[in-house]
Structure 1
Amino acid sequence: MERLTTPDLNWLADPEIFEVNRIKAHSDHDFFSSKTGKNSLKQNLNGTWRIHTEPSLATANFDFSDPNFNYQEFDYIQVPSHLQTTGFDEHQYVNTQYPWDGHEDLRPPKVPQNNKVASYIKTFELAENLHDKPVYISFQGVATAFFVWLNGHFVGYSEDSFTPNDFELTDYLVSGTNYLAVQVFKYSSSSWIEDQDFWRLNGIFRDVYLYATPKAHLFDLNVTASLDDTYQNGILELNATIHGDLSDKKLHVALLDQKQEIAYETNQPLLEHTKVTHKLDQVHPWSAENPSLYTLELSLLDKDGKVLEYIPQKIGFRRFELRNNIMYLNDQRIVFKGVNRHEFDPIHGRAITKADMLWDIKFMKRHNINAVRTSHYPNQTYWYKLCDEYGIYLIDEANLESHGSWQKLGECEPSWNVPGNLPEWQATCLDRANSMYERDKNHPSVLIWSLGNESYAGTDILAMRELLRHKDPTRLVHYEGVTWNREFDEITDIESRMYAKPHEIEEYLTNDPQKPYISCEYMHAMGNSVGGLKLYTDLEKYAHYQGGFIWDYIDQALYQDVDGKKRLAYGGDFNDRPSDYEFCGNGLVFADRTISPKAQEVKHLYADVKLKPDKTGVTLTNDRLFADTSDSFFVAKVLQDGKVVWQKELNLVVKAQTSKHFEIDFPLPTEGEIVYEVEQRLKHDTLWAKTGFEINFGQALIKKDIPTFEATNTPKVVIGDVNVGVSGENFEVLLSKDKGGIVSLKYSGKEYVTRTPQLVFWRPMTDNDRGCGHGFDRAMWLSAGKFARVTDLKVTNQKHAVNVTYTYELPLPKKVLVTVSYTVDGTGKVNVTANYPGQADLPSLPTFGLEFKLPKQLTQLKYYGRGPAENYLDRNVGARLGIFETTAKDNLTPYLVPQETGLHCDVRRLALSDETAQGIKISANGQPFSASLLPYSTMMLEEALHQDELPPVRFTWLRLLASQMGVGGDDSWGAPVHEQYWLSANKPLELSFTIEPFA
């Protein structure tokens, strides 16, 4: 094909022109000029470039492409980066709607007039080892469309932001300084099919480098490393495309095993298309559990045996297949315990670093995550190498999403859907699928190709499927969008759904499923979420249920300076309109890579080895596909009232896919509450964690023992006109007749009450609460405690104590009376009991309990309950029962929008203290309660939209609750908390606890 030499701005709005002069897509293999692997034929062009931006095409021109152009007034920019994160454009976050919606009336393939243009300049001298060879430039990621010139010559044009774009420079290079000019356009026709749920960031955001090729060059490498029907022997098939002078040359092939010993070796004549096949006995198969990699060394040799080019390629032998409508890896049914992953960093946006990726993959392995869907575009090639090496299964997703063209305000309306059945869009769709395939085909971690996300369905996407199935019969093809148009059900090999409820999935699984099932998106982890995850993991009992991918891995939040302070900001915070605001905050980790409490539940439920202690030992269920438990040691413990009083290390080996009970000589203390616990820990260092790292745990409550309040000694009681005073040695309590409760609690002269505790029926709404209309449905409970009024007061003398009981009437449509009683004995212990009687025909309660406004200094919390991270009624199986310490500040989870946070379930006792260790103890009376200690009240959290909007800390707020409804997580725009995790209004609730000073 003849090279075009003149750029044309009309290409931007033409979906049929998506590349000009671009090199054919090829594998991402590394190559060197010697076998040492150190003589790279690459020259990195990352670093400082010059830049100038214009607001639209109307003011842009190509003058800067002339090497004589005076660019001294251009600014500086670091490459890779985004224009927005470096101050050259404004941030904007939208989900399904297009970023120009409401500003310009457009339909595909038109582009907005407000189309930012960035002109980049980079000068370089060609590295010496690249001289006298064909030279190419590779742009690993540029959003959204761009022209390239070298020394005034037009080189090429390309779209597709997330796969490499390579161009040949050989004819345009000069000795000395070379002048590279790149013009990047914010929008092109491709913007209609890059409508992902993310910040709209553009620029040169991935690596840029030059590379040279020797006389003979392995242009493309296609390796299939499979297993035969025994699943023990390997089948190696190598197809290499060689360019250059091939005469009198040969290809040396060596396959090295994990010990770097030669497992196979051969020489082949060098042909343009060279093929090698070989069968190997007894290979070590690749899986996420045992990511066994072989090294395929390819050497292109001249007639004298000199190395012209050396290619080391990591490969893994594995076989992924569909049998009886079930997905199998190496002859075992696979279950994906996955997450969706955007590439993101709060400073650099999607221009993430290798350090970010290393952190990400170690987090995933440490939290028992075994799979990632690259939502919704191919990731940096380094990520795939890490997944090969560390062991992560990948759904590799093409850069295609046109959500806003067929779904408006949640309704399916595909009247002008792209790409649909439109012939003018088919070539670009095929190009995106092909570019992904060609780059990533040699990575064993890639099990499934995905045709993009939320683009409806049609013949264009069907053509993408046919291309991939033709090129790669060893993998499956995934596409969820057919759920909206079953006419094209053949597109996907997998029944893939988003945010289906557990009962909906179960209905599919129990009605003769014709395809394996995955939830490509589920458990919408927005804010305080991931409640009810166990309802999904319980579905693993069905053979056709093969897991899911949580939405999503990391919050998309960007740092913003506000009044000289840095905060994590979300959509709309940059005055971007339209915007979808905080909907970008859905991560298991926060944008700064702080781990959220949600990860605690995921780690436990995603664990392959389940531990179930009992009175005689422990049952280990090993759900791994291949590996036994010999890589782990186990620690058995006995906890007495939360304290470890006995422990023993054990070696317990259970084969994969089996369960076994082991007897353990647990002692049984005669006093207190007894818990048996068994932990699974790493026996040896791994790439992702050190020896002793805890993989999972199991607990059993062997003997429950929660004491009840017993009064001792007889206090002094003064019944005044306004207050009931109760006192004794080193304590004094005042119970107000008109304030409706305790107004003073002094131990050793120190006051612990600032205001009367308030009944609380409301929790600060979570993102899920707002999304499902919780506020509308349960609004009456918001004011129920705040405006409750005392209708009765009774003072009763008891043995060794006095009881003051308040009756409150709640401001509700029906008459509801709640009582709060205080019983004070002669030692200064105060037993508090709050009773909600239950009332039919009212909406369920968000929560029920008391909120205390305490002195600011009481910030230290030590408790015996579930932890260490916050936990809730539907998110607490990953929280263990034990003794934990935290502070009010640390207990506040920094969700993007302040909301319900910091709760701990099943609390038996807690201690509050200041930094001098003075404080109070609170113990459950008969039944455990839930508790949180925070720097802010329920209403403060309810009203703030950002963490920095919360006021200066003046008090410490303690909530003691009989219970609280779950947080939910099926989705964040309509799914309620599952009913089994509600607090039914017609059922009584009781909170009872005892306050006393430190001993």
Structure 2
Amino acid sequence: MNSREWQDPHFLEKGREKERAYYVPFENTEKALAGEREKSGEFHLLNGIWDFNYYPAYYEVPEEITEWGKIPVPSNWQMEGFEPPCYTNVNYPYPVDPPYVPDENPCGVYRTWLDCTDLTKKTYLVFEGVNPCFYLCINGQEIGYSQCSHCTAEFDVTPYLHEGKNEIVVKVLKWCDGSYMEDQDFFRMTGIFRDVYALTRPAEHVQDVEVHADLTELSVKVTAPEGEVTACLYDGAECIRKQTIVDGKTVFSVPDAKAWSAEVPNLYTLVLEGFGEYIPVPVGFRTIAISPKGELLINGVSVQLKGVNHHDTDPVKGHVMSLEDIRKDLYLMKKLNINTVRTSHYPPAPEFIRECDRLGFYVVDEADIEMHGFVTRETLWSYHMYDRTWPTDHPDWGEALMERMRRMVERDKNSCSVIMWSIGNESGYGCHYDDMCRWTKQRDPERLIHYERANMLNTPTMYDVESHMYREFSDLIADGEKDDSRPLFLCEYAHSMGNGPGDLNDYQELFDKYPRLIGGCIWEWADHTVLKDGKYYYGGDFGELTDDNNFCVDGLVFANREVKAGSLEAKAVFQPFRAELKEAGENELRVEIWNRHYVTDLKNYDLKWTLELDGIQNATGTLNLDLPAGEKTVITLPVALPKTCTLGAYVTLTLHQKEATEWAEAGYEIAMVQKKLPVEIVPAERSVSEGIWKVSEDRLSLTVADETASLAYTFHKVHGTLTGILKNGKNLLVSPAHLDVWRAPTDNDRHIKMNWGLFGDNLSGWNMNRLFDKCYSFTWKETEKGIEILSEGSLAGVSRSPLLHYEIVSRLDHGDPELHVSVHAKVHPKAIWLPRFGYEFTLPTAVEEVEYYGMGPGENYQDLCHHAKVGRFTTSVTEEYVPYIMPQENGNHTHVKEVSLTDPATGSGIAFRTEGEVEFQTSHYTKEELTEKDHSYKLEPSNTNVRIDYRVSGIGSASCGPDLDPKYRLSEKEFSYGFSLKAI
């Protein structure tokens, strides 16, 4: 090892083979068609337990190692305990002094053995991913070097082998000059993290293959020595075309080819037969084009990219993803109606691309380049265009950048799923990006090219796609209305950190409205965390010199791939099915159905419908529709609607796949639409008795009890609060009920919370998390109907004027056990919008069972509710908690009309109802606990905490995106609401 080499941007490799298309050769047609590389006699997987030693600095590696430890390959040595993990987003974890890296550069030395029995064959060692660079030694001789963590490196090791056992030693450094090009937003991990294998091949063999297929023709180019190579095109197990390669190429005419798309991924297999090998190449017949309106056309059909950004991440294995892990992710994406993957911010393992070909996804394949750490190197945050202090424009870095693009394109050039090349991420702009774009266009004129930072040039560019991230909605509307024939693609949007994202449907409505807005990729797929001893950790937990806290915990799904509300919201917003109520007659409903698929007929699905009245199923049925993709029709449902109901009438339509797929069982629900029906709501008559309420009071308290004293409500006369709900002498309240506006900030509240609350010495907020409740007056009177109690007061943050003033009327009607509560509030005219407003109740922990009529079954908010439906649901307080790794607001329900909470052992509890609608939340964790604790494993449960809210502000995606849309904010300056409660 020579330290000058790995700090020289001109020194990129030694002894590495020229980049080629990904393939694995087999020894016969049957195995080639099956495509399972581990079953090829020419493929020898070297994964397993290797010898390993870790050295804190490269110069500490001895010339001869006599004692070895062990490590699994693939793995990251940080996840194996040799170093603590490090999470940083923008900042480099070392000084920004390119091409130099710290002298204290750790080195991991790996060793394994390769048995060689036939020296007449060529042997290649293939490394699919090593972070960030490595030296390769065979039998004590250094024979190779490579860098670029996520690019395949292949070495011809034949001259260095002997018969029998051969020693393979790999020396991996923690940093090199290439690390400056890999400043991605993830845990920084080191080591051999992808598969390592040997290929044993004939002395002469095919080196490379390139295929291009449109809808009727397949062209094949082969790089090989002299000798006969035959190309056979298979549809399944049937060879439908067979031709001999002449002068390195051939063309197949396939006029009846079945088109490939993400929706219907028809795949053929081209098998090259030559030199005793059989090389399979998956082939998808498809075209990519742009319409004059800027639409993305796949096979001539306008499609939207409903995508996610995907990092390789696992809470236990780090950056290691097995084929099983890859399929688990892609299966779940399919179930969530996702059709596009951006491989942020590097090429994935080649098997990931193959699975996208096979399962059906559009892929935005991204080069292993990100350099946003240059924006903070001199404390200023600024992207510079054509700045020679950035590698993108510095003359020494041109080939280093170009080869990363070239290696990705050459490896994945045959993939039908790859429809767009990405020239990296957030790396400024310079002359080398111009060169990379030109080269890629010349090498592959078919696919589109994007690079988001090119939009900062504010001049016409050669890129096929205008690309943005975290776009303001007003800007996106202007983009849609702009006269530009280029598609606009949101390479990142709807930041999914913690609870959220909450504004997905707003984006989708704009995608649907404007043809040139072709969709985008949600940031991002899964939370990045480290799981240790059953606890999840994030940035700053490992003593990093620089970190970005929990900014990596930003997945649409949890780290363990369990779904959350945001996952289900994406499924609902992306679903290929729409329905609109056209007419509601006495004996039938007429509903317009829209098949939003691009290819698939609805005859492949069962359409089920259910009529619910007051949360009770009244009628149901199943329809089989023959409706082509993109078409609409009106269906008639034979239902008799009543004149009135007490809570609401809804029809719910769901779409279920008839046949099982690889990723989901038969009957899986891919879409759901619920529509409210025009039935008059007449509240149920309340049963009343002949009893009357009696009042007793002392200096501090007021008690209103029924004649038998089995039920009583108590109030504090100084504070004006409800202090007790007594059933047979037992108080159901642990502490007084009270009004509040605070919620534990979500990750999407990370900016606005400084205007809401008091954190540290912040002087700009309304200190809503430090409120004083002042009661100005507390009075009561007896009316003809019963007892009426009036409390007037204010809520004010420490050091602040009153945030709001309120009046609370608590009414008890004779013969009615319910307490009727009405609240009127006036908010300070200069106050910022509120997190929420409502009543809070604290009940004993044993009050665990929950039943409610409202939107469910999972958590939902104003702007995060398209996945939910109105109905009657049963759950528990424990189940209502959503375990976001950073504790925060969770578990809310909108459109709620009834709630009951009971102790399962005694049946006692409290029931709430309203003639309007409220929002409801319950948890064993207080909002203070969720606000103050920084990890979910630190939370301590206490009691059963219940909220009955007038309104809760939405979620949005402002953790890295536009501010919450005003329509989802509680910004009203005067409002009223009410509810009733009773002991049960």
Same fold? TM cut 0.5:
yes
Q: What does 1:840-855 align with in structure 2 at a 5 Å threshold?
A: 840-855=829-844
Return the letter of the residue paired with 1:654. Answer: L
Q: Secondary structure at the match of 1:757?
A: strand
Match in the other structure for 2:935: 946
2:793 corresponds to 1:805: no
Q: Which of 681, 694, 705 is 1:726 aligned to?
A: 705
Q: Secondary structure at the match of 1:339?
A: strand
Change (3 A) 1:709 1:813: farther
2:861 corresponds to 1:872: yes
Change (3 A) 1:870 1:923: same
Match in the other structure for 2:540: 572
- Structure 1 position 568, deviation (Å): 0.9
- Structure 1 position 921, deviation (Å): 4.9
Q: What does 1:613-628 align with in structure 2 at a 5 Å threshold?
A: 613-614=581-582, 615=584, 616-628=589-601
Change (3 A) 1:743 1:900: same
Return the letter of the residue paired with 2:826. Answer: P
Output the CA distance in 2 between the equivalents of 1:943 and 1:795.
Answer: 38
Does the 8 A contact of 2:913 with 2:981 survive in 1? no
2:525 corresponds to 1:553: yes
2:137 corresponds to 1:161: no
Q: What does 1:226-375 align with in structure 2 at a 5 Å threshold?
A: 226-227=214-215, 234-243=216-225, 246-247=226-227, 250-258=228-236, 260-268=237-245, 274-300=248-274, 308-324=276-292, 325-375=294-344
Output the CA distance in 2 between the equivalents of 1:575 and 1:708.
Answer: 61
- Structure 1 position 595, deviation (Å): 1.1
- Structure 1 position 794, deviation (Å): 2.2
Change (3 A) 1:728 1:667: farther
Q: Secondary structure at the match of 1:988?
A: strand
Match in the other structure for 1:762: 742
- Structure 1 position 520, deviation (Å): 0.4
Match in the other structure for 2:618: 645
Does the 8 A contact of 1:256 with 1:295 survive in 2? yes
Change (3 A) 1:878 1:917: farther
Q: Which of 83, 98, 104 is 1:114 aligned to?
A: 104
Which ranges in structure 1 are unaligned for 5 or more consecutive residues?
Answer: 1-6, 228-233, 302-307
- Structure 1 position 137, deviation (Å): 0.4
Does the 8 A contact of 1:600 with 1:869 survive in 2? no
Does the 8 A contact of 2:487 with 2:518 survive in 1? yes
- 1:808-830 CA deviation, whole Å, 9 max, x = no partner? 22225258421223223434222
Change (3 A) 1:406 1:897: same
Matched length: 951
2:106 corresponds to 1:123: no
- 1:659-688 CA deviation, whole Å, 9 max, x = no partner? 222121122134332111111111111121
**TM-score, structure 2 normalization:** 0.93
Change (3 A) 1:706 1:171: farther
Does the 8 A contact of 1:118 with 1:185 survive in 2? yes
Q: Secondary structure at the match of 1:427?
A: helix
Output the CA distance in 2 between the equivalents of 1:241 and 1:267.
Answer: 14
2:85 corresponds to 1:91: yes
Change (3 A) 1:225 1:784: closer
Q: Which of 746, 764, 778 is 1:793 aligned to?
A: 778
Change (3 A) 1:728 1:280: farther
Output the CA distance in 2 between the equivalents of 1:391 and 1:345.
Answer: 23
- Structure 1 position 359, deviation (Å): 1.4
Q: Which of 883, 892, 895 is 2:872 aligned to?
A: 883
Does the 8 A contact of 1:707 with 1:925 survive in 2? no
Does the 8 A contact of 1:150 with 1:179 survive in 2? yes
Query: Which stretch has the larger CA shift, 798-807 or 957-966?
Result: 798-807
- Structure 1 position 710, deviation (Å): 5.6
- Structure 1 position 528, deviation (Å): 1.6
- 1:318-346 CA deviation, whole Å, 9 max, x = no partner? 00122323321100112101110111100
- 1:101-129 CA deviation, whole Å, 9 max, x = no partner? xxx4x421111123111111112323x5x
Does the 8 A contact of 2:229 with 2:274 survive in 1? yes
Return the letter of the residue paired with 1:942. Answer: T
Match in the other structure for 1:860: 849
Output the CA distance in 2 between the equivalents of 1:917 and 1:32.
Answer: 69
Does the 8 A contact of 2:757 with 2:766 survive in 1? no
Q: What does 1:370-449 align with in structure 2 at a 5 Å threshold?
A: 370-406=339-375, 410-413=381-384, 417-449=389-421
Return the letter of the residue paired with 1:920. Answer: G
Return the letter of the residue paired with 1:660. Answer: T
Does the 8 A contact of 1:402 with 1:417 survive in 2? no
Change (3 A) 1:141 1:638: same
Match in the other structure for 2:187: 199
Return the letter of the residue paired with 1:536. Answer: Y
Does the 8 A contact of 1:795 with 1:803 survive in 2? yes
Q: Which of 183, 197, 202 is 1:209 aligned to?
A: 197
Q: What does 1:63-74 align with in structure 2 at a 5 Å threshold?
A: 63-64=63-64, 69-70=65-66, 72=67, 74=68
2:27 corresponds to 1:33: yes
Change (3 A) 1:83 1:484: same
Output the CA distance in 1 between the equivalents of 2:803 and 2:873.
Answer: 41
Query: Which stretch has the larger CA shift, 801-810 or 821-830?
Result: 821-830
Change (3 A) 1:748 1:353: farther
Match in the other structure for 1:964: 952
Change (3 A) 1:646 1:747: farther
Does the 8 A contact of 1:622 with 1:656 survive in 2? yes
Q: Secondary structure at the match of 2:722?
A: strand
Q: Secondary structure at the match of 1:584?
A: coil
Change (3 A) 1:619 1:81: same
Q: Which of 588, 591, 595 is 2:556 aligned to?
A: 588
Match in the other structure for 1:305: none
Output the CA distance in 1 between the equivalents of 2:687 and 2:951.
Answer: 26
Does the 8 A contact of 2:24 with 2:43 survive in 1? no
Q: What does 1:41-190 align with in structure 2 at a 5 Å threshold?
A: 41-61=42-62, 63-64=63-64, 69-70=65-66, 72=67, 74-100=68-94, 104=95, 106-126=96-116, 128=117, 131-190=119-178
Q: What fraction of aligned residue pairs are identical, expressed as a percent?
A: 30
**TM-score, structure 1 normalization:** 0.92
2:544 corresponds to 1:543: no
Query: Which stretch has the larger CA shift, 856-865 or 582-591?
Result: 856-865
Change (3 A) 1:901 1:784: closer
- Structure 1 position 362, deviation (Å): 1.2
Which ranges in structure 2 are unaligned for 5 or more consecutive residues?
Answer: 32-38, 759-763
- Structure 1 position 691, deviation (Å): 1.4
Does the 8 A contact of 2:54 with 2:107 survive in 1? yes
- Structure 1 position 463, deviation (Å): 1.3
Output the CA distance in 2 between the equivalents of 1:819 and 1:297.
Answer: 79
Output the CA distance in 1 between the equivalents of 2:560 and 2:911.
Answer: 35
Output the CA distance in 1 between the equivalents of 2:52 and 2:682.
Answer: 69
Match in the other structure for 1:3: none
Does the 8 A contact of 1:887 with 1:933 survive in 2? no
Change (3 A) 1:704 1:525: farther
- Structure 1 position 426, deviation (Å): 1.1
Does the 8 A contact of 1:911 with 1:919 survive in 2? no
- Structure 1 position 760, deviation (Å): 1.1
- Structure 1 position 919, deviation (Å): 3.4
Match in the other structure for 2:35: none
Query: Which stretch has the larger CA shift, 775-784 or 30-39?
Result: 775-784
2:422 corresponds to 1:450: yes
Query: Which stretch has the larger CA shift, 610-619 or 154-163?
Result: 610-619
- Structure 1 position 973, deviation (Å): 4.7
Return the letter of the residue paired with 2:973. Answer: N
Does the 8 A contact of 2:725 with 2:733 survive in 1? yes
Change (3 A) 1:785 1:107: closer
Q: Secondary structure at the match of 1:617?
A: strand
Change (3 A) 1:574 1:784: closer
Does the 8 A contact of 1:777 with 1:843 survive in 2? no
Change (3 A) 1:704 1:575: farther
